[in-house]
Structure 1
Amino acid sequence: MPITASRDTVLCMSLAARPGNFGVRFHNFLYRELQLDYYYKAFAPTDLPGAVAGMRALGIRGCGVSMPFKEACIELVDELDASAAAIDSINTIVNTAGHLKAYNTDYLAVAQLLDSHAVPRTPFALRGSGGMAKAVACAMRDAGFDEGLIVARNERAGRQLAETCGLRWQPTLGDERPPLLVNVTPLGMAGDCADELAFEMQAIEAADTLFDVVATPALTPLIQAGQRLGKRLITGDQVAAIQALEQFVLYTGVRPSDEQYQRAAAFARG
């Protein structure tokens, strides 16, 4: 059934440097499924403060925030939920009568996936130091992963994240071969980085578990390598689906059934 809009239609959106279609398909599927008069659209803003001000001024209900805006948006909102304040990174903004409150549903998604995949609390290396890396590293820390390494070329951000989570920092992985590798960079993402492996093959071969937060494509070079080698895998589209579900609930106040959620996620992966 096609989406129809009226003057009463509630708008939601996302802001990303390179928008994908996952959120658009996921949210709009559930709006139709649950007969909610909502519509979701993805944007690549050239003026971030202007985009967030427009959300407030136009009464746009919800906004998903993706790389590289998860930290830059903090100063543009009125209030941080505990999920965002604890890690100083946001991925969701909810507009209630002009009051913008920010959340982080990435953290919730990562925590759920580590538990559902029964990932052992082994040493790990996490590549990345941006807003999403904060969510992943803090979720891992709080889940009991206390021996790890932040791999980041940005020394200031890398050291800061490592200190926040009680971890080590290095600019490269070097000769270390931890059992768990986590990619929280654009490496492997559709576009210029699509063919790049987030870690060297020697490290991938030595690992037991590979976790790539890149959602598009779900089968990044890292995940494909892990499939060939029979590794335990957590993919970015799994993270995207869970965090999108929690965003949907924040925007609408409605929680879909598990069956509706599963069909929406399958449709979004399309």
Structure 2
Amino acid sequence: MSKLSINRDTKLCMSLSGRPGNFGTRFQNYLYDELNLDFVYKAFTTTDLPAAIGGIRALNIRGCAVSMPFKEACIPLVDELDPSAAAIGSVNTIVNDDGHLHAYNTDYIAIERLIERHAIDEGTRFVLLGSGGMAKAVASAMRDKGLANGTIVARNAEAGQALATSCGYDWRPKLDFEPAMLVNVTPIGMAGGPEADSLAFSARTVAAASIVIDVVALPPETPLIRLARELGKTVITGAEVIVLQGLEQFVLYTGVRPDDALLARAAAFALG
């Protein structure tokens, strides 16, 4: 791996998150090094979002990944919304072109591509658990790929009903039937969280399903994914989602698309 020295021309990319992690830093910097690109990536948090976004513009920072709780709050602070962000009112990527801040949602793009890759049938009846910013991206991508038979299950009734209405889906406070596809878009199963060892859906519900999607990326094998694999279900993991959305961010920042072999190595390094 070649390593360029940081210099005055090095382009900075960054992330803003309430709880910064290491995936983006490891993934992006690995690709910069492998491709000999004069970029560097650093994770940040902030207590002053307008000042942070203003800093991106003022310091000519090339790109910024945006995570919770900033995905919606940053919208009035950018100049332009890509359709991927405008469709759902949620941003996870900002690209700075000479002071013009263009916002995207690569979570949405990743889900669309995974639906295509796994050839999920439009008629599949599914339940999506969750109602936050990532849930908006997943539900909207499914809607726009023609999956019309969906139900949103969310503890937050107001947010759950709003998401269901915006996508043309039903809302229920709890799951009381057994759909063909299960989609977890909550922190249940996340490493280090209070429900790290919990299943997002009951074992009986998982057994009745054909497809299980869990957007929790760390660990890549959540309790839900492990059970689904044991039962022989088709699975889409959060690791697949985070790698694809990170890839699209990398392309937006650099204009370079790594080949599949390099992408696999970067993913293994970042998730390892």
- TM-score of the superposed pair, with normalisation by structure 1: 0.94
Matches within 5 A, 1:1-40: 1=1, 4-40=5-41
- The runs of at least 4 consecutive aligned structure 1 residues that moved more than 4 Å come to none
Identity score, percent: 63
Shift in Å, 1:242? 0.9
- Tell me what 1:237 maps to: 239
* Alignment gaps of 5+ in structure 1: none
Aligned-partner SS, 2:112 = helix
- Tell me what 1:132 maps to: 134
2 CA distance for matches of 1:184 and 1:63?
A: 23
Is the contact between residue 220 and residue 238 of structure 2 (CA under 8 Å) also seen in structure 1? yes
Shift in Å, 1:18? 2.4
> 1:241 and 1:179, CA in 2 relative to 1: closer, same or farther beyond 3 A?
same
Matches within 5 A, 1:163-174: 163-173=165-175
Say whether residues 1:79 and 2:80 are aligned partners: yes
- Tell me what 1:247 maps to: 249
- Tell me what 2:52 maps to: 51
1 CA distance for matches of 2:49 and 2:222?
A: 28
1 CA distance for matches of 2:45 and 2:231?
A: 36
CA offsets per residue over residues 48-88 of structure 1, 9 Å max, x none? 22322222222211111122322121122111111111111
- Tell me what 2:181 maps to: 180
Aligned-partner SS, 2:229 = helix
Is the contact between residue 4 and residue 36 of structure 2 (CA under 8 Å) also seen in structure 1? no
Is the contact between residue 70 and residue 132 of structure 1 (CA under 8 Å) also seen in structure 2? no
CA offsets per residue over residues 210-267 of structure 1, 9 Å max, x none? 1011111111111112122221100011011111111111111122222222222222
Matches within 5 A, 1:84-233: 84-121=85-122, 122-173=124-175, 175-192=176-193, 193-233=195-235
Shift in Å, 1:47? 2.7
* Alignment gaps of 5+ in structure 2: none
1 CA distance for matches of 2:269 and 2:42?
A: 16
Shift in Å, 1:40? 0.8
- Between Structure 1 and Structure 2, how many residues are aligned? 269
Deviates more, 1:217-226 or 1:43-52: 43-52
- TM-score of the superposed pair, with normalisation by structure 2: 0.93
Is the contact between residue 20 and residue 216 of structure 1 (CA under 8 Å) also seen in structure 2? no
> 1:51 and 1:190, CA in 2 relative to 1: closer, same or farther beyond 3 A?
farther
> 1:45 and 1:155, CA in 2 relative to 1: closer, same or farther beyond 3 A?
same
CA offsets per residue over residues 90-122 of structure 1, 9 Å max, x none? 110011122211001111111111121222331
